A and B are shown apart, each in its own frame.
Chain A
Amino acid sequence: MLNIDSIQNGLVIDHIKAGAGMRIYQLAGLDRLDCCVAIIRNARSNKYGHKDIIKIESVIDLDLAVLGYLDPNVTIDVIQNGEIVEKKQLDRPKQLVNIIRCRNPRCITSVEEEIDHIFNLSANGRYRCAYCEEEERHNPEGKKH
């Protein structure tokens, strides 16, 4: 198995669905970090068979809403002095602000300047635009909205 050094201080985003690591890397803004970031794809997992893992060598403020939206099954391990000091479980956020964009051309968000793109979690588990109530439309994996 490929070895990636364990980190002394930082974060591990674990239990990412295999293949989704790059999308999380991009949408959570990890591509803009200065510190060392490792993406491990298709690691063996007892629970899922395969999984992706992202290791970040710094304790940064992660946008948990973005992560919860992308994959509520991921866990965040906070590492200090080589030990896991906290394990965070994620929920699907009730509201997303400026994480995805409404693509309904009839929506006010298509013309109004400086408007937040707000999506609310609906009863069927999908996100709906707060303005026009259109359901989110998924983009191809890894592409930014």
Chain B
Amino acid sequence: MRHLIDPLDFTLEETERLLILADKIAQDPAAYQEVARHKKLATLFYEPSTRTRLSFEAAMLNLGGSVLGFSSADASSAAKGESVADTIRVISCYADIAAMRHPKEGAPLRAAHYSRIPVINAGDGGHQHPTQTLTDLLTIRRRKGRLGGLTIGLCGDLKFGRTVHSLIMSLARCKGIRFVLISPEELRVPDYIITETLRPNGIPYEEIRSLERAMPSLDILYMTRVQRERFFNEEDYIRLKDSYILTAEKMKLAKPDMAVLHPLPRVNEIALNVDSDPRAAYFEQAQNGVYVRMALIMTLLGLEK
């Protein structure tokens, strides 16, 4: 039985297979509307995350399955002090597959150790969020037709953004990838990403401060938010915040087929006048998130054949 706890739990080949299936689903969703009939997805959300929970539920309903679950720890037996290990053993009797969101890092892994059904990590604290990474990969693949041979720009908070770290580690497995890491000094990518992933694999990367300077070379621009609370002093924040806001003006410097991604929700890091640019792919991501979760549920339940 397979689980998805870490974005790297699937090999590159397995990830590619899943993305191909997600792409097929996107092209003909009606062909898949009965494949999970009589199957149940349990959404175990120990903290609220409406967007992710609804995306999982939409995915299961689109496959003809049904959903049950809870959307906050107060509404679950965790409020009575039940352990994750006990909860998943009970849920294994009720459902065929589970998606777990938990504020504590590693909770879905703990659940997987005791589960009799596949467990999907739907976000564990600030640790991993593998279905967001799969969503990002599907969006890149659908826009560019491939994952390899691309120059990927990641911009903003590269230090604390877990989606950034997971995306780098996943794409680092593809041939011909080059990274441009665009951030203020305070929010540089953590050293371990460089020393354990980029350098040992000989992956070319560049760390720069200017988004404008990076724009012309990028095939993909992955935007994240620079948050005020990440800075030690207000002055630095005010000085730097506008440098990492994407505007229609800056988009003029980009390739005509570049794609802009963002894990959403955005606040002000992408100006509203970018939304109408055909290169803006961030709202497609939400749709792709449903397709990739449909493909994941099918794969983990062995329904893809």
Q: Give me the interface of A with B, judged by CB distance under 8 Å.
A: 104, 106-115, 122-124, 129-134
Chain B residues within 8 Å of A111, by CB:
104
Contacts of B104 in A (CB 8 A): 106-108, 110-112
Report the 7 A-B pairs with minimum CB-CB distance, sorted nearest first: A131-B106, A132-B105, A108-B106, A108-B104, A108-B107, A132-B106, A123-B196
Q: How far is the CA of A124 from the CA of B195 in the complex (A)?
A: 8
Answer whether residue B3 sits at the interface, using C-beta atoms and an 8 A cutoff: no
Query: A-contacting residues of B (Cβ < 8 Å)?
Result: 83-85, 102-107, 109-110, 124-127, 192, 195-196, 200
Give the distance in Å from the alpha carbon of A132 to the alpha carbon of B102 in the complex. Answer: 12
Q: A115-B110, A123-B196, A124-B196 are in contact. Are A106 and B105 (CB under 8 A)?
A: yes
Taking a contact as CB atoms under 8 Å apart, the answer to whether B110 and A131 are in contact is yes
In Å, the complex CA distance between A107 and B107 comes to: 8
CA separation between A115 and B86, bound complex, in Å? 12
21 sampled A-B residue pairs with Cβ under 8 A: A104-B105, A106-B104, A106-B125, A106-B126, A107-B105, A107-B106, A108-B84, A108-B102, A108-B106, A108-B109, A109-B106, A112-B83, A112-B84, A114-B83, A115-B85, A124-B192, A129-B106, A131-B105, A131-B107, A132-B127, A133-B127
Say yes or no: B110 contacts A112, CB within 8 Å.
yes
Q: Known contacts A132-B127, A133-B127: does B196 contact A108 (CB below 8 Å)?
A: no
Are A108 and B110 interface neighbours, CB within 8 A? yes
**10 more CB-based (< 8 A) A-B contacts, given A112-B84, A123-B200, A132-B127:** A108-B106, A108-B109, A108-B124, A110-B104, A112-B85, A112-B110, A114-B83, A114-B85, A133-B105, A133-B127
Complex contacts, B107 vs chain A, CB 8 Å: 108, 112, 131
Q: Closest CB of chain A to B45's CB: distance in Å? A: 16
Q: Name the residue on B nearest A122 (C-beta).
A: B196
**Are A130's CB and B106's CB within 8 A?**
yes
